[in-house]
Amino acid sequence: MQKEELYSIKRLFLDYCRMDIKMPVMCLIGAFLKAMAPYITIVLIGRLIDAATLGVDVKTLISWALVAIVLSRLLTIISIKIKELASAKEEYMVEITNRVFAEKSLTEDYEHLEDLKWNNIRQQFEAMNKSGSGIFGKMFELLDKISEGFFSLLFSLVVMIPLIMNKEIDSMTPFSGNISTVIMIVLIMILLVFKLKCGSVIMKEGLDTETVLSAPYTKKTGWYKDTLSVIENGKDIRIFNQLDGVKNDYDDAEDHILLIMKKALMAYFREEALTEIVMGICTIIIYTFAVYRAYIGLLSIGEVITIVSAVTETLKSNTLIVEFMEGLPALAERSIFYCQYMDMGARNHKGTIATESIENNFSFEFENVSFKYPGTDNYVIKNLTLTLDSGSKFAVVGPNGSGKTTFIKLLTRLYDVTEGTIKLNGINIKDYDYDEYMRLFGVVFQDFSILSFKIGENVASDDVMDDSKGTEAVAKAGLANLMGKMPDWPEKYVGKDFSENGINLSGGEKQKLAIARAIYKDAPFAIMDEPTAALDPVSECEVFAGFDKMVGKKTALYISHRLASCKFCEKILVFKDGNVVQQGSHDELIMNEGLYKRLWNAQAQYYA
């Protein structure tokens, strides 16, 4: 195993210990007790048989028997509780894995969420954690195996070696304790190597469970299951007669998976059959040594039974160690993806300067700003230079792909510029405290998100909403009529994910709710990226009028394909190919030949 893999597994374990040290401790204690349980019974039965053979009185025998029964029942109860703990632990591990994944997704810098490289790592890490109990569950599963296997081997040596070695005439026999011990260890090692060899063949042929689950055909069937479960997709599949193609493609993927699984079953069968044969041979040899030593008087009947039982447990522990070794490569692969995912770096410049003094008196300056998305060579913004003064209303227009939304992402620091500088009041925006800087903006993105929380929580972005402020925001966003029908609207859930009494909002209503959220935030700089895309012209006019009234003397920036929004703005920025090719008021731009006038004339017929 390579150094990177060992480091990744170590980090995975230490990261979990920092979250919850109790679980690893409980795991080791559970493995110790589970491994010890059979050996206590083995020793007591051997002693009981020897005592009966030597003619020990009935009272002593009964005492020994009672001790054996009580300990046996006690260990059985402990074993059952350990199994219950293991079952609960698996569910717990799933939740821990999901929490770590969710927290990382929520706190990761937005730029990585759109980075193809990191997205691939994220998706692979997510896919690996969909099976079983996640990456932490896999780690504890293997920790259980190696811990129980190690303790079982340790107990077997403690039980068997004293019985074989501590005999005064042992050195006089052809099969001395030393020879017996060496032979026994060699046989156990042969069995261990044999099982590992069988397991490596299965891994090499790609027939192990982990490989099958991550195979392209398995991913394809999973994609189909997810896609076909979305009701909206059913319309297109039926109207465009795609059903036969989908079914044939899915059946083809399933046939490949079934073929792989058949090969895997045959490989596992061969491994188990050959392993049982080798185990049988090893067991016979060890039993022969034990019986011979009993025949020449070096072992009692009870000791023979103890050794034979201990050997059986040793072979079982051997299997656990092999399963650990077989599962280690899969854990190493998951651990590497875990480390890569967790190391998706935070932005280099968090900044420390406070923004408390910045209210409605500020100026943003773009100085030769260029930007290209990670993993691409094409500039989306190129050599952009402009100034945004406070108290002004700006409209940003231009064809698709001209860089309008990217411009907003740079302004709000969802991305950092590739080249050039953005300054706020003469200071690089990277030098401001990141969280405080984000509070300057109230943004409604084109691809906004409304969560399945209560309406009041969506508006306030908090558990508690100021009633008067929230009602005003909802009214200005154009939802007054809808909310007037529901006196308890702040407590109503959006959708029915969390409540059967939730309400299903239309696309336009959700967009108005997103606008209400921006109004409620009351940030000094309001930005609306295609805020009325899902609204009809009447609702669009209503929203713009309400939002314009709310903005007042604050700074506002509108991005819209509908140029009617430009009439609310003092200055229009016309984007093309990642730069501003025109700027000025509507009246100024409409008087000159250029991109703005062409866009306006193309839409003028809709705004009679």
For residue 199, what pLDDT is reported? 53
For residue 538, what pLDDT is reported? 65
For residue 346, what pLDDT is reported? 61
For residue 466, what pLDDT is reported? 92
Q: Give the residue-averaged pLDDT of 115-143.
A: 75
Cβ partners under 8 Å of residue 75, min gap 6: 33, 37, 40, 41
Q: What are phi and psi of 418, to 5 degrees?
A: -80, -45
Q: How confident is the model at residue 169 (pLDDT cuts 50, 70, 90)?
A: very low
The tokens for 423 are 């300054």
For residue 573, what pLDDT is reported? 92
Share of the chain above pLDDT 90, in %: 11
Q: Where are the domains of the chain?
A: 1-167+323-346, 169-297, 363-606
pLDDT tens by residue, 334-381: 888 888 888 876 655 678 888 877 766 789 999 999 999 877 888 999
pLDDT tens by residue, 589-608: 888 888 888 888 877 655 54
Task: Look at 40 and 557; give whichever has higher pLDDT.
Answer: 557
Cβ atoms of residues 224 and 257 within 8 Å: no
* Ordered DSSP codes for 542-603: HHHHHHHHHHTTSEEEEE-SSGGGGGG-SEEEEEETTEEEEEE-HHHHHTS-SHHHHHHHHH
d(CA 188, CA 485): 77
For residue 168, what pLDDT is reported? 46
d(CA 288, CA 326): 31
For the chain, give the mean pLDDT. 78
Task: Look at 330 and 127; give whichever has higher pLDDT.
Answer: 330
d(CA 144, CA 32): 10
pLDDT tens by residue, 176-219: 555 655 666 666 666 666 655 655 554 444 445 545 555 566 66
How far from 328 is each of 5, 146, 335, CA to CA, in Å?
Answer: 10, 11, 10
363-606 falls under which CATH superfamily? P-loop containing nucleotide triphosphate hydrolases (3.40.50.300)
Instruction: Look at residue 539 and tell me whether its pLDDT is greater than 80.
Output: no
DSSP three-state, residue 438? helix
Q: How confident is the model at residue 459 (pLDDT cuts 50, 70, 90)?
A: very high
Cβ partners under 8 Å of residue 385, min gap 6: 366, 367, 368, 369
Radius of gyration, alpha carbons of the chain = 36
Neighbours of 10 (CB within 10 A): 11
Task: Look at 422 and 483; give whichever has higher pLDDT.
Answer: 422
Q: How confident is the model at residue 170 (pLDDT cuts 50, 70, 90)?
A: very low
